[in-house]
Amino acid sequence: MIRSLEEARETVRQKRQELQQRVRETCIIAVLLGAEGKGLDNRRKIKEKLEKEGVLALIPEDDFAPDVAPSITEEAVLEKSDVDVIFINVESWGSVTEFGQFHDEERIAPKLRVFVPHEYHPLYGTSIGYLTDLYLTHVVKYGHVYAHDDSERTIFPCSEKIIIKLTLRHKMLVALGKI
């Protein structure tokens, strides 16, 4: 007998919970935002590694339907979707604008994990300016602003290492019911 969508959804939920409890593991959905060019290549590398660890990682440029303008999709995704965590590597004017737009949205900000070049980090860097000041407000209000050095010339880790570490721990905590 064919089930209704509601009944099927309930069965999916039950089976998912049973499997998660049995294996003490889960899957989370992560979105990777950032710049194009080298930034996009970096995100693709990160996505591949996350996928191997059981994470459903999405890159808007590659995975979201091209029929809709990216800015429109992103707003919908960030505000209304069931994504678990959103990583934003602020390394271009586009990603600066994205951060500026969403950093204080109550529904979005708690899911944001912001990556900034170490020299612009409000606590570890030397830069002074509006954007660094915005990062400081975000750190105080929500936490989750991370300094990175993708050239790996300083003690700061590259964004890839931070993203993978954070995502796997996030996944573990969700699996254990602690988030």
Contacts with other proteins, residue ranges (CB under 8 A): 1-3, 5, 8-9, 11-13, 15-16, 19-20, 23, 25-29, 54, 56-58, 63-68, 72-77, 80-83
Tokens matching residue 97: 């604008």
| Shortest distance, position 138 Cβ to other proteins, whole Å | 24
Query: Closer CB to other proteins, residue 74 or residue 91?
Result: 74
Query: Closer CB to other proteins, residue 18 or residue 152?
Result: 18
| Shortest distance, position 24 Cβ to other proteins, whole Å | 10
Tokens matching residue 85: 């965590």
Query: Closer CB to other proteins, residue 65 or residue 155?
Result: 65
| Shortest distance, position 143 Cβ to other proteins, whole Å | 25
Tokens matching residue 89: 């590597």
Can you spell out the DSSP letters for 80-146? HS--SEEEEE--SHHHHHHHHHHTT-TTTGGGEEEEEEGGG-TTT----SHHHHHHHHHHHHH--EE
CA distance 77 to 55: 17
